[in-house]
Structure 1
């Protein structure tokens, strides 16, 4: 192929009156390639232009009369080549090739015939393409990432970037250049996901091509040893989501024993640990811990078999709690401390005072910084919830809440209020007893009169005796 290009260029150069120069063009497969061809002339007459490709004949040509022709191989399907008429007046006869393919790579010639002069430009079009094998690999398997350049430029430099950052092959990654491409072979990890770009440099010019690699496996969490934060007594979800449509067989959850550092052995899962049944997707194997205890902290592992390979993802549960202590000499004050079982990712602590009114409306009060907080529990302004938020480099990691009603200072206030309430209750009880005694005496008198009225004769005798007694008393007063 190189010999043919050489002969093609040599013939063009040896033609009588011809001026020949070679130009390199690097283009990405699927893009538009522009092959330059410029000719300056003071004459107003139109030249004849012929674009041809080595071994394939005419691509496009225009006669002096203005008639245009396309080569038969370029007329199939959509017309992909054109030479814009708007550039003719400025002497620009560049050829545009849309949606270039790998087989478009090769040597092209632009021949401009004007009166007795002939100008010829040779353009080498090189097509760059990035490919993966396999296209969608599974984590843990091998993959080949290839940068194809057609035709391959001998002596070209090749660099790789991953997600706009230069990729430097590490131990275990083989990289080599062969006759037609540059290839890297490596073990697939989640970190290889993203946009791969091959940058080719040749003779002072640079071209590039990109492709996106989607790795199949456990996509959430995206990396091993991801920390999951929660508070004592709360529920927490351990994510374990496989790629869309990737259904693992024999999924297993394990808690790893902390004493085995290099090869962790599975231990016993907490009693409230259960696989989540809420998801309707078979590739979601997340699990839930319904009520977290301080001893539940540690590492957990999710695994599942996919295409004969066992995929795993480790997670670490970090449990948070608030410790309270009455170390202050001042009566009615308490010190709160935000405690986590692992603080390696924590960069800052923040205390937020949350208050609820009678209608249940939530309002946020003061915000204070620091791992510890000292507050006066006697003051009504400090009642409510105190939430400790802990932050990492990328924002909030989690929070834990403490209720002020659990403190001793509030118990003293409550006991004072209780003594006032007790005195009021005793007073009301005494009045109630007196009222009951009066009612009992009235009922007793009523019953006695009722029994007397049952005997009329006795009633007459009682009245007669009573009248006689009154009469004697009046007579004695008169004497």
Structure 2
């Protein structure tokens, strides 16, 4: 005790400096740094003493260099509180406390004394912590997110952030305004959109403190929000997602098609003909997605999947947007073709992009002629324009999908196809008459053959026929000589 007595007497006799209380707010579990600076730096080895109100000595350093720590600051054989020797030469005698706990909060005093002067500083350490009542929490259940500061600073301001963005109270969750000696609390029903890192920012007398805790919500993770838009091209295969948190075993899965403009009322008509549960569901019981093997134009609209988890039916709605290319190709080959990129609901579309795709002999894809706009006019007189034309559509967050049109196939069905049809018709008619003539000749040959065959069955008759024929030829020669 004599060191403290001597220190107090000397401090009263030597000119000193007393600073106001410095505020420090540290997150629970982190390392807190309590400042204590003396300028100009002492030229000799000073006496340093750190103490905490109600817990006595934290750290004491003698002028000889000997150090002593309070036994309450020992954890697993190592000191939680220390003051780096290397900082002393700069006049910095900061106290570092590792793995800060709630009971570390309070008032600390730093005293520094050398042969010429002494300095005393006071630091208030406040510990901030975010705690969650239940994490992971099942979607729809009540959850409470609490921000505690020990001791709570009166007239402090508190702000909440979710995944780095300021949190605005919603229907599911509300913020309870903090009062004296209380904490700031966010309460409500847990949903997938509220999952992530919750951060509490506290400001007090120009000092800021921050603490973060993760909230995990189990439920339907994909899609993670209602009315999610899914884009698909006509004729393509599509998977409508309905994936629950890994490890959950949903029961009684149900898919419904909703009425237009409704998120809850099922439509009276049935699901699309090619609609079927996903095969993946058999391998992963938490995956209740569905497949459409071939999307049709009339398949666009709202769908909803649901299943029971722990007695609670969880639902998720989504909207299928169908894309197709409408072609306007005239019979006149010289007229340009007009292609229009059409979507059943283009509300989120911010731009269209046309790409011409061809392939070389090795099957390598070649992309060229990128054009902007919903409509595309193609010169049919140029053979280089035939082939695949792909319409890519974009939204605010990037590409949303694409749809492909085979221009060469369509041209055969219309403009070029008309002249080709006339040429083929003439060829078919010519071949028909040729075959008819050949058939008549074959029938005549067959008749002659049958006639001769009947004559050869009577040899005597054949002799008489030859004799008559010879006599006729002789009379004809005799008439010619006369």
Give the SS at the match of 1:64. Answer: coil
User: Structure 1: which 5+ runs fail to align?
Assistant: 1-11, 445-479
Pairwise CA distance, 1:278: 2.8
Matched with 1:65 is 64
Matched, 1:284 2:287: yes
User: Could you tell me how far apart the structure 2 residues matched to 1:411 and 1:204 are?
Assistant: 80
Alpha-carbon separation, structure 1, partners of 2:271 and 2:321: 15
Q: CA deviation at 1:288?
A: 0.3
SS in 1 for 2:218: coil
What are the ranges of 5 or more consecutive residues in structure 2 without an aligned counterpart? 1-7, 450-482
Per-residue CA deviation, residues 306-350 of structure 1 (Å, 9 max, x unaligned), is 223221111111112222334687755433222221111122222
Q: 1:246 to 1:266 in 2, by over 3 A?
A: farther
**What residue is the counterpart of 1:410 in the other structure?**
416
Corresponding residue of 2:463: none
Cα distance in 1 for partners of 2:42, 2:398 equals 69
What TM-score results when the alignment is normalised by the length of structure 2? 0.78
Name whichever of 236-245 and 354-363 sits farther off.
Answer: 354-363
Contact 1:328/1:335 (<8 A) preserved: no
Which residues in structure 2 correspond to 1:76-475 (within 5 Å)?
Answer: 76-77=75-76, 78-115=78-115, 118-170=118-170, 173-178=174-179, 179-258=181-260, 261=262, 263-267=264-268, 268-278=270-280, 280-326=283-329, 333-357=336-360, 360-377=363-380, 379-404=382-407, 405-406=409-410, 407-412=413-418, 414-415=420-421, 418=424
| Contact 1:378 1:413 (C-alpha < 8 Å) held by counterparts | no
CA RMSD after TM alignment: 3.7
Is residue 2:69 matched to residue 1:74? no
Q: Secondary structure at the match of 1:87?
A: helix
Q: Is the 8 A contact 1:160 1:197 kept in 2?
A: yes
For the Cα contact (< 8 Å) 2:58–2:73, is it kept in 1?
Answer: yes
Partner of 2:453: none
SS of the residue corresponding to residue 75 of structure 2 reads coil
1:332–1:377 CA contact under 8 A, matched in 2: yes
How far does the alpha carbon of each residue in 1:67-113 deviate from its partner, in whole angstroms, 9 at most, with x for none? Answer: 11111111231322111111223332211112212221111122234
- Per the alignment, residue 48 of structure 1 pairs with 47
Q: 1:46 to 1:361 in 2, by over 3 A?
A: closer
- Indicate the SS of the match to 1:177: coil
CA distance in 1, matches of 2:41, 2:387: 90
On the 8 A contact 1:193/1:214 being kept in 2, the answer is yes
Structure 1 position 41, deviation (Å): 6.8
SS of the equivalent of 2:168 reads: coil
Give the 3-state SS of the residue equivalent to 1:207 in structure 2: strand
Does the Cα contact within 8 Å between 2:175 and 2:184 map onto a contact in 1?
no
Residue-by-residue CA offset, 1:279-310 (whole Å, 9 max, x unaligned): 53221211101111222111111112222322
Measure how far apart 1:388 and its partner are.
2.1
Q: 1:55 to 1:340 in 2, by over 3 A?
A: same
Aligned equivalents of 1:60 and 1:364: distance in 2? Answer: 72
**CA displacement, residues 328-379 of structure 1 (integer Å, 9 cap, x when unaligned):** 8775543322222111112222222223455544333423332223334454
- Is contact 1:169–1:175 with CA below 8 Å preserved after alignment? no
Are the equivalent residues in 2 in contact too, given 1:157–1:200 (CA < 8 A)?
yes
Give the drift of 1:244: 2.2
TM-score, normalization: structure 1? 0.79
Q: Are the structure 2 counterparts of residues 44 and 71 from structure 1 closer, same or farther at C-alpha, using a change threshold of 3 Å?
A: same
Spell out, residue by residue over 1:417-436, the C-alpha distance to the aligned partner (whole angstroms, 9 max, x if none). 7589879989x999x99xx9
Tell which deviates more after alignment, 262-271 or 80-89.
262-271
Q: Is the 8 A contact 2:109 2:122 kept in 1?
A: yes
Q: Is the 8 A contact 2:388 2:405 kept in 1?
A: yes
